[in-house]
Amino acid sequence: MLSKIKSTVMVIALAAVFISIVWMPVVSAAPPPVTTVNYSQPNYGTSPIYVNTITDFTLTSVDDNGTSVSNIWYSWNANNYTKYTGAFNAVVENLIVGGVPQFPIDLEGLNTLYYNATDDQGNAESPKSIQVYVDDRVPITSIDYIGEQHVSGYQYLTSDTEIRLSASDIGSGLDTIYYSIDDGSDMEYSGVFSIADNGRHTVNFYAEDNLGNQESKQTVQVYVDDVGPTVSITTGSPSHDMSGTVYVTSESLFSISANAESGIHSIKYNIDSGSWLTYSTTFSIPVEASHTIRYYATDNLGHVSTERSLNLVVDDSSPTILTSPTGDGIIEVESGTLFYINCTDAPNGVGTSYVYYSLNDGESWKTYYGPILIEEDMSIIFYGEDILGNDISETTYNFEIASPSSGISNTAYMYLGSCLITVGLIIVYFIITRGGDGKDTPSKSKKDSKSSKPKKKTKRNG
């Protein structure tokens, strides 16, 4: 009996299973949603996709099985998934403990964006991903110069100097370099360029990468200088210019100066076609003779000035003096005698000389312009000097008026004095016209002659 009951239950159960299989609708596995990603400008490339933090990402999901998409999710670099609610950027928000509001973190560099969706039946799409390179960095441009150049306040160039721009970019890569000169329009840089016009100029430049990230404009000041330096020489004291030839002494100092917009690199000079020397300080020429100084300058851009020259004569020789009457010790003359002094310079000297004299005391000095009348006993102190200061040591003549018995007349003294001066002038003329070199003319050095002058002497015109 029990076995029949079990058999009956078994049959009923099998029948129920069969009926459920036959009459219940067939449910097949539904496909999951399909999600796509889109991104706005700026973007560049495909793998990876270069974007910056203002690029918008949008996700779109469709479900072909008639069900509705329930949620779309995305994640940067497989961190916490975020429910998609609208366009988003390549930043993540970080919540600081303590309730401080969220702040975005820039995802500069290479990242992976993961995304997927689920439908309302629970079908979940397998996560998808794309490589995204976030690039908010601007390019960096540099400038350099090929050819003559010098930096001193300005960047000095010549019109032949080439200006070169170069830029680098980390990320999407360099697109274009732009530049302008002064107030001109921006131009695309394609290769080195130069500036033809002399003077100050402003060069502006910047670069842009493939995402449009633009560098701030840079500016440099340049000075184009195609003008050579100017150079000049100055002769120190004593000196005297006569017919284009400068007369100096061995103590006269020469200084050379030069000027150029870019500055002076060097000054060169030589004496009498000798070796070229670099000028650094004043100099003198110790040898008495005719000389020529040649000199030129070079600026910091390599421009060389025109070579210039100075013709000069070094004259350290003192002039010579002839007197009438003349003598040593005490000179007896008649009252009314005229005393003559004649001063002549050495044949190769500067040629201009003066005589100064003082009567009796040696304190009050006058310039000699003509014969001195002797009417009483007196002393005459005198010396000669050329225009360079080369002088003859002072000489003193002591005159006494002779008694009438001496038989010497004023007329005789005047005649004798005139003869002596005439003979002296003839001798000097003969020496000059015969080209004498002055070596036999007795002279004393300027230093020796000056040391014998009274220190308190005051020259003045009589």
Helix (H) or strand (E) holding 428: helix 410-433
Round to whole Å and give the CA distance between 256 and 282.
8
pLDDT at 123 over 80: yes
Question: What local confidence, expressed as pLDDT, does residue 416 receive?
Answer: 65
Residues 93-119: pLDDT tens digits?
Answer: 665 555 555 556 778 999 999 999 998
Give Cβ neighbours of residue 59 (< 8 Å, ≥ 6 apart): 35, 36, 37, 38, 72, 74, 84, 115, 117
pLDDT at 418 over 50: yes
Residue 236: CA count within 13 A, CB half-sphere: 13
Question: What local confidence, expressed as pLDDT, does residue 24 receive?
Answer: 44
Alpha carbon 288 to its chain's center: 41
Q: Is 430 helix (H, G, I), strand (E, B) or coil?
A: helix
Nearest to 345 by CA among 432, 453, 248, 220: 432
Domain ranges of the chain: 34-134, 140-224, 230-314, 320-451
More confident residue, 414 or 125: 125
Give Cβ neighbours of residue 397 (< 8 Å, ≥ 6 apart): 323, 326, 327, 331, 339, 379, 380, 382
Residue with tokens 């014998």: 452
pLDDT at 359 over 90: yes
pLDDT at 413 over 90: no
How much of the chain exceeds pLDDT 90, in percent? Answer: 65
Pair of tokens at residue 363: 């304190």
Question: What local confidence, expressed as pLDDT, does residue 405 receive?
Answer: 56
- The fold of the 140-224 domain, in CATH, is Immunoglobulin-like (2.60.40)
Round to whole Å and give the CA distance between 355 and 365.
10
The CATH homologous superfamily to which domain 34-134 belongs is Immunoglobulins (2.60.40.10)
Question: What local confidence, expressed as pLDDT, does residue 411 receive?
Answer: 54
Nearest to 294 by CA among 281, 312, 282: 312
Q: pTM of the full predicted structure?
A: 0.67
CA-CA distances (angstroms) from residue 185 to 179, 200, 218? Answer: 8, 18, 15
> Which of 86-95, 245-254, 393-402 has the weakest average pLDDT?
86-95
Mean pLDDT on 231-235: 98
Round to whole Å and give the CA distance between 126 and 31.
11
Mean pLDDT on 371-385: 94
Round to whole Å and give the CA distance between 189 and 164.
9
Do 140-224 and 34-134 have the same topology in CATH?
A: yes
Mean pLDDT on 405-422: 61
Round to whole Å and give the CA distance between 208 and 417.
101
Round to whole Å and give the CA distance between 448 and 10.
158
Mean pLDDT on 202-213: 98
Question: What local confidence, expressed as pLDDT, does residue 106 receive?
Answer: 75
> Which of 25-34, 171-180, 265-274 has the weakest average pLDDT?
25-34
pLDDT at 239 over 90: yes
Region of 103 please: left (phi>0), alpha (psi -120 to 50) or beta: beta
Burial (CB < 10 A; 0-12, 13-18, 19+), residue 141, is buried
Residues 124-159: pLDDT tens digits?
Answer: 999 999 999 999 999 999 999 999 999 998 999 999
pLDDT at 412 over 70: no
pLDDT at 319 over 70: yes
Question: What local confidence, expressed as pLDDT, does residue 122 receive?
Answer: 84
Residues 270-314: pLDDT tens digits?
Answer: 999 999 999 999 999 999 999 999 999 999 999 999 999 999 999
Q: What is the CATH number of domain 230-314?
A: 2.60.40
More confident residue, 401 or 64: 401
Mean pLDDT on 33-43: 95
Question: What local confidence, expressed as pLDDT, does residue 131 receive?
Answer: 97
pLDDT at 266 over 90: yes
CATH assignment of 320-451, among 2.60.40, 2.60.120, 2.30.30, 1.10.287: 2.60.40
Question: What local confidence, expressed as pLDDT, does residue 135 receive?
Answer: 96
Round to whole Å and give the CA distance between 341 and 427.
15
Confidence label for 79 from pLDDT (cuts 50, 70 and 90): confident
Question: What local confidence, expressed as pLDDT, does residue 440 receive?
Answer: 41
Query: What dihedral angle (degrees, nearest 10) is formed by the CA atoms of 205, 206, 207, 211?
Result: -150
> Which of 15-29, 177-191, 349-363 has the weakest average pLDDT?
15-29
